[in-house]
Structure 1
Amino acid sequence: MGARGMGRRGILAALSYMACAVLLVMFNKAALSTYSFPCANVITLLQIICSICLLYTLRYWNWITFENEPLEIILGKEGSTSKRLLVPMRTFKRTLPLSFSYLMYMVIGMASLRGVSVPMYTTLRRTTVLFTMAMEYAIMGQRHSREVICSVGVIVFGAFLAGARDFSFDTAGYSLVVISNVTTAIYLAVIARLGKVTGLNSFGLMWCNSLVCLPILLVWTWLTGELHSATDFPALYEHGFQAVLVLSCILAFIFNYTIFLNTSLNSPLTQTMCGNIKDLGTIFLGWLLFGGLPFDWLNVLGQALGFLGSGFYAYCKLHGK
């Protein structure tokens, strides 16, 4: 973001993302843990199908555009009765890296959520800021001020402090979360890059991303047997489970849009920091609904340091540092 502070649209995008992210984690966790649904990739597949249907409908009725130009200009190019819903093939091909990074981000992220408690999951996810800073520099050449680097250091130290006494240590679960952090950093950096070079807005990027990911994930879930397992799931026809799935799909659509919007308006690192700040709500609801870590002052201190570092970062960005 350079030396500019966050504008009103950037602040609203960040707040919208944080609110939606908390709810989505809760519904995904409910499906995977409370109902013990064994097919995390099927949930991702349903979320992609929902996104395609919603984007198609909204674009068909000209309620949204896929490009950064105003709707009036796009309609003028297409003709008053034209319903051109697809982006140019050349532009579509340029978004392929986004789709592959998204698949890795979603599949690994969903799997990592199953292996650890919600409080510990959010704690480990805070280390994503390190990977995001590295990817911003590698892909975009982005450098950050000393104040921002200091805030990142405080967050990472707090994350390690909070997890120092986790008695439910799971090597496989923790490893998946770390890999998820790497894929998240790559995904956010690619969003920021493509948003500048393709001419597509957040809806356009989501559209291209979903079209590529759908057949890949469909084939993958069929080959792994997850589709068959999902159809045989005992709670499939329970209204409570169906409600969780539907709300998860709708929230995933809004969630992905706010990720694209927040990353494009602000920066990948700001998007990651928003994920850290919203963790207060995630941790509270996770402890309340699903349980997790036993109370420990070291964990509380680590969580407090994480929020302090995130708050300092927000202060720096709001004041253009």
Structure 2
Amino acid sequence: MENRSEAEASPCKSLVAAVSYGTASMAMVFINKAILMQYGHSMTLLTLQQLATALLIHFGRQTGYTRARGIDMQTVRRLLPVSLFYNANVAFALASLKGVNIPMYIAIKRLTPLAVLIAGIFSGKGKPTAQVTSSVLLIAAGVIIAAIGDFSFDLLGYGMALTSVFFQTMYLVLVERSGAEDGLSSVEIMFYNSFLSLPVLTFLIIITGEFPSSLALLFAKVRILTPHI
């Protein structure tokens, strides 16, 4: 009886998980777009995001709230390329949101399955089934049709979004082929990713001139939003 009830609950849990993921994904895009319309320093935002993530997981480990293990240099070497591709994907995605409207941004990101499909063929993964290929090509055709009718076409924004698709594809292929994340929990992966990202991101915001003016602008925006604090 228990096995039957668990089997019946499984589709319901899967549906809830899928809806929750879709809602969170859509909300993230809208929130990022709204923030970038008011504060255009996307690299600084990404750096602060990774810093906050690393600190929260570290404090969670110190207080016993999470079971994430400490830094291991062998794991660092294994995850470094994965982390670089991940952050490149996020950085270009945020940059593209400055010039691309939300529907087109979402549409362009849907080209990732096509890119993964092509990368898989060239990397010797094998030819996908006709059903998978036709589905992915149909999505890509829809993206092209939508782009043709986009009256707010921004070449730089489109270029950034397509570059983000490329880095996301490389990230997914690298993770699949290297098995770099094997044996790590999702919290540990997040911690390593944030830890490895911070030196590179800090260097980038300094050489591009974002920092420290971007931080001063952020504090000014926060004071405007919270005048009584």
- How far does residue 145 in structure 1 lie from its aligned partner after superposition? 2.1
Matched, 1:191 2:193: no
The 1:135–1:199 alpha-carbon spacing in structure 2 relative to 1, beyond 3 Å, is farther
Q: Is the 8 A contact 1:94 1:198 kept in 2?
A: no
Ranges in structure 1 where 5+ consecutive residues have no aligned partner: 1-6, 67-84, 241-321
- How far does residue 125 in structure 1 lie from its aligned partner after superposition? 1.9
Distance 1:14 1:183 in 2: 24
Indicate which of 41, 54, 68 corresponds to 2:43: 41
| Counterpart mapping for 1:22-61 below 5 A | 22-33=26-37, 35=38, 37-61=39-63
Q: Is the 8 A contact 1:29 1:114 kept in 2?
A: yes
The 1:204–1:169 alpha-carbon spacing in structure 2 relative to 1, beyond 3 Å, is same
Q: Is the 8 A contact 2:105 2:161 kept in 1?
A: yes
| Counterpart mapping for 1:106-121 below 5 A | 106-121=90-105
Corresponding residue of 1:235: 221
Q: TM-score, normalised by structure 1?
A: 0.60
**What percentage of aligned pairs have identical amino acids?**
29
Distance 1:22 1:140 in 2: 34
Matched, 1:20 2:30: no
| Counterpart mapping for 1:263-282 below 5 A | none
- How far does residue 143 in structure 1 lie from its aligned partner after superposition? 4.6
| Counterpart mapping for 1:152-163 below 5 A | 152-163=136-147
Distance 2:215 2:80 in 1: 30
- How far does residue 60 in structure 1 lie from its aligned partner after superposition? 2.8
Q: Which moved more, 1:10-19 or 1:85-94?
A: 10-19
Corresponding residue of 1:130: 114
Q: Which moved more, 1:142-151 or 1:116-125?
A: 142-151
Superposed CA RMSD: 2.6
The 1:86–1:135 alpha-carbon spacing in structure 2 relative to 1, beyond 3 Å, is farther
SS at match of 1:114: coil
- How far does residue 49 in structure 1 lie from its aligned partner after superposition? 1.0
The 1:197–1:184 alpha-carbon spacing in structure 2 relative to 1, beyond 3 Å, is closer
The 1:136–1:207 alpha-carbon spacing in structure 2 relative to 1, beyond 3 Å, is farther
Amino acid at match of 2:167: T
Corresponding residue of 2:4: none
The 1:129–1:102 alpha-carbon spacing in structure 2 relative to 1, beyond 3 Å, is same
Q: Which moved more, 1:11-20 or 1:120-129?
A: 11-20
| Counterpart mapping for 1:83-94 below 5 A | 85-94=69-78
The 1:113–1:192 alpha-carbon spacing in structure 2 relative to 1, beyond 3 Å, is same
Which is bigger in relative contact order (C-alpha 8 A, separation at least 6)?
1
- How far does residue 188 in structure 1 lie from its aligned partner after superposition? 2.3
Amino acid at match of 2:87: L
Distance 1:13 1:87 in 2: 31
The 1:214–1:97 alpha-carbon spacing in structure 2 relative to 1, beyond 3 Å, is same
Distance 1:195 1:63 in 2: 27
Indicate which of 174, 187, 206 corresponds to 1:203: 187
Amino acid at match of 1:46: L
1:108-166 superposed Cα distances (whole Å, 9 cap, x missing partner): 11111111111221222222221122334455826532211111111111111122222
1:230-274 superposed Cα distances (whole Å, 9 cap, x missing partner): 23325242227xxxxxxxxxxxxxxxxxxxxxxxxxxxxxxxxxx
Q: TM-score, normalised by structure 2?
A: 0.82
Ranges in structure 2 where 5+ consecutive residues have no aligned partner: 1-9
Amino acid at match of 1:42: T
